[in-house]
Structure 1
Amino acid sequence: MSEKNREGKRVARDRLAAEREKQRTAEKRRRTLIVGAAVVCVLGLAAVIGVVAANSGDDSSSDTSGSAAAPKGAGGKDDLAVPVGKDSAKSTLTVWEDFRCPACKSFEDGFRSTIHELTDAGQLKAEYHTVTLIDSNMGGSGSLRAGNAAACAQDAGKFTEYHDVLYENQPKETDDTFADNGKLIDLAGKVDGLVTDSFKSCVKDGTHDGWISKSYKAFQDGGHKGTPTVLLNGKNLMDDQSMTPAKLKQMVQDADK
């Protein structure tokens, strides 16, 4: 083999080794980012792949600014939930959620139509609790701002519609887009009749910020570790990895008999 060929092969080997090292470094960085983002949510139910532990944060991380005034019609323990459905329903679905949480969006995308069907039929009452888990773990204020805006929509009698719009337009978990009240008001334009002067003032003034903070404290005090946490008649559905919309529907209908 000529000296020129040997030198060419050596250069090729060096380049290949450098490229492999570059790829290993990029992969390590990617894994670090994934792990850092994943710890804020627990992935559960059939709509979500895997389970990732989430740090619930400490009490000192809760935002205590703003009024603790509950939105109109709030119910559940200490009036910390937004109820959807009829009080006469025999089954109650308790949902602890964070509007910045991608696992919450996965749950919503998979189960939304079934929950709507059951609540509309009077077979299920849903109680939604908003928490600020991702704000606490990743920084920012999008969880709080979106939660307050959803409570303002409840004041206007349009919680369900706006709740769905927020998840349908959820930004990347690392993008604190919902921290912008203007963005939240723009999204409200997708709900007929929601954007009024009173709604805009409620969003901008953080009317229900303190109420959201109380909800997050209740979440922590309840020992919940991740979002979404979903309970059907007190039973944690996250423990059943075979859960599907059809199975949830059957459980509710069986309880309704």
Structure 2
Amino acid sequence: MQVRSRRQVLAAIGAAALAPATAGCLPLGRPGEGEREAGPIGPVAQALGSDGTTIVVGDPSAELVVKVYEDPSCPACAEFETTGTGPRLLGMAATGDLQLQFALGSFLGPGSKRAVNALRAALDKGKFVDLHQAVYDGQASAKRRGGFSTDGLLGLADTIEGLRDGSFDDAVRAARHRQFVEAADQALGRSWVRGTPSMEVNGWPVKEGDRDVMDDGGALRRYLKSAEDRPPRR
């Protein structure tokens, strides 16, 4: 019997996601419920985590920590971040209710690597959150053109005030953050994650039976409430 590595499993899930008949990298259950709120959320803290591969959004001292594992080219991740509960989590991070962490993989190929590199470059400008939203809003269009390209990502950056300048453009064109891209991808490959999007709360993985938290605001609220009574996993 052939034994496949976790990276091979992730890549297989991602490859299946590219077929037109599938909804995404990993089934999310019910269709999304239109969580995306109109308009900007306002300023929110965003920084590189101490592990060097996680991006932290919101108050880094918040007791409630939600970590999301994504690949920018994953259709299910786009669903989570547009019509699922991703925007709700971002709003909670902006108001200080939780610390939101992003672990970005790029197992779906070169377009993902270019997107993660651009997202890391946007973090240097304090614009990670803005570009992250723009990337998922523009994912379907990018796929019709063969995936995220350098020029396509710079076009998305054009929609974000104050992001594009010489240093950002150079970082995107020259893949200045390639080491971060590879390290983040390897970290995801070593994790418990078998597909994206995946989530953990205070270090505890959200199990398959609770995946409605990805697209149901009420389920997410109840899950986070119950997490307050559970000690963090170290």
Q: TM-score range by the shorter chain?
A: 0.7 to 0.9
What secondary structure sits across from 1:217 in the alignment?
helix
Distance 1:162 1:112 in 2: 14
In structure 1, distance between residues paired with 2:189 and 2:65 = 21
Shift of 1:241: 3.6
Report matched runs for 1:7-22 at 5 Å.
Answer: none
Aligned length: 195
Structure 1 ranges of 4+ moved more than 6 A: 33-36
Q: Is the 8 A contact 1:97 1:229 kept in 2?
A: yes
Report the CA distance between 1:234 and its aligned residue.
2.1
Question: Distance in 1 between the 2:74 and 2:205 partners?
Answer: 19
Q: Deviations over 1:149-203 (max 9, x none)?
A: 011100100100110000001036575330x211111110111110111110110
Structure 1's unaligned 5+ residue stretches are 1-32, 49-71, 136-140
Within the candidate set 203, 218, 221, 1:246 is matched to 218
Cα deviation, 1:66-125, whole Å, max 9, x if unaligned, reads xxxxxx93105x221111000121111111111110000111121133112211121111
Distance in 1 (CA, whole Å) between partners of 2:103 and 2:29 is 18
**Between Structure 1 and Structure 2, which shows a larger proportion of helix residues?**
1
Structure 1 position 42, deviation (Å): 1.7
Instruction: Select 1:147's aligned residue among 83, 97, 116.
Output: 116
Aligned to 2:25: 41
Aligned: 1:91 with 2:64: yes
Write the distance in 1 (CA, Å) between the matches of 2:140 and 2:47: 29
Shift of 1:45: 5.6
- The answer to whether the Cα contact below 8 Å between 1:45 and 1:238 also exists between their aligned partners in 2 is no
Match of 2:3 in 1: none
With over 3 angstroms needed to count, the CA separation of the structure-2 counterparts of 1:251 and 1:223, relative to structure 1, is: closer
In the superposition, the TM-score normalised over structure 2's length comes to: 0.74
- What is the Cα-based RMSD across aligned positions, in Å? 2.6
Residue among 106, 118, 137 paired with 2:79: 106
Cα distance change of structure 1 residues 39 and 200 upon mapping to structure 2, 3 Å threshold: same
- The one-character-per-residue Cα deviations of 1:216-239 (angstroms, maximum 9, x if unpaired) are 111111242211111111232352
Counterpart of 2:172, as a letter, is: V
Q: For residue 41 of structure 1, report the CA deviation from its aligned partner.
A: 1.7
1:128 to 73, 92, 102: 102
Distance 2:212 2:86 in 1: 17
Q: Does 1:119 align with 2:93?
A: yes
Question: Partner of 1:27 in structure 2?
Answer: none
Report if the CA contact (8 A) 1:41-1:226 is conserved: yes
The structure with the larger Rg is 1
Q: Partner residue of 1:191? A: 160
Structure 2 CA distance for aligned equivalents of residues 157 and 111 of structure 1: 23
State, as a whole percentage, how many aligned pairs show the same letter.
27
| d(CA) in 2 for partners of 1:190, 1:112 | 21
- Retained in 2: the 8 A contact 1:45–1:107? no
Instruction: Classify 1:45/1:79 alpha carbon distance in 2 versus 1 (closer, same or farther; 3 Å).
Output: farther
Report SS of the residue matched to 1:195: coil
Give the letter for the 1:105 counterpart: A
Secondary structure of 2:99's aligned partner: strand
- Gap change, CA 1:95 and 1:121, over 3 Å in 2: same
- Aligned partners of 1:108 and 1:167 also within 8 Å: yes
Shift of 1:39: 10
Q: Distance in 1 between matches of 2:203 and 2:31?
A: 20
